[in-house]
Amino acid sequence: MTGGAIPGPDGAPRCPWGLSTEDYTAYHDEEWGRPVHGDDALFERLCLEAFQSGLSWITILRRREGFRRAFAEFRIASVAAFGDADRERLLADEGIIRNRAKIDATLANAKLLADWAPGDLDALIWSYAPDPAARPAPRTLADVPAVTDESTALAKALKKKGVRFVGPTTAYALMQACGLVDDHLVGCVARGGNVPAPGDARPQKTTTPSAVS
């Protein structure tokens, strides 16, 4: 899909990907592109973007509650305390993606971040938020980049600090998901943090989704 915003069931225009499934519609309208702050919240997004690498985001989205249960709601201090038994539990948990390298990276990153001062992860990530006026608002999906200079620099900074399993593409997906950039298309009802009006015709599904890559 490379077109511009298209009308949804309620008539309001949305990014095309946000109308492809009910899960994506809820995620598009309520989460994607909205500012996220807090070390634990950003740790969750960082972990989920890493697990998404090589997969469709919908695969992660539909397992997010399973990930949260498995990883103690992504509380950094809790995950940092996981031991060998927890690792084996995670490798056997069908509610998540049982990728050994990604699980090990998540555990290692938690142990690393547990030693950072409160707010350090938030401050580091948000220091790479670009000037909103630095590039035109995307009109079609073809205008949305997969990598930017800022995401490359963020990935490099995280790696230098010892954070594992993060590259420029993963970093940009994180930036999109957490509102460092607003990649909702021109004309999209959710651009600029707008919320579709209550009572719209959007399908309501209880799955609690996290960015589209």
Catalytic residue set: 27, 49, 57
Instruction: With beta carbons less than 8 A apart as the criterion, state whether 185 and 140 touch.
Output: yes
Nearest alpha-carbon partner for 210 in 71, 90, 88: 71
Residue 117: DSSP 8-state:
P
Instruction: With beta carbons less than 8 A apart as the criterion, state whether 141 and 15 touch.
Output: yes
Nearest alpha-carbon partner for 41 in 189, 154, 177: 177
Distance CA 27, CA 39 (A): 21
- Burial code of 146-165, b = ≥16 C-beta within 10 A, e = fewer? eebebbbebbebbeeeebbb
* Residues paired with 13 in a beta bridge: 7
DSSP states along 143-206: GS-S--HHHHHHHHHHHHTT--S--HHHHHHHHHHTTSS--PPTT-TTGGG--PPTT-SPPP--
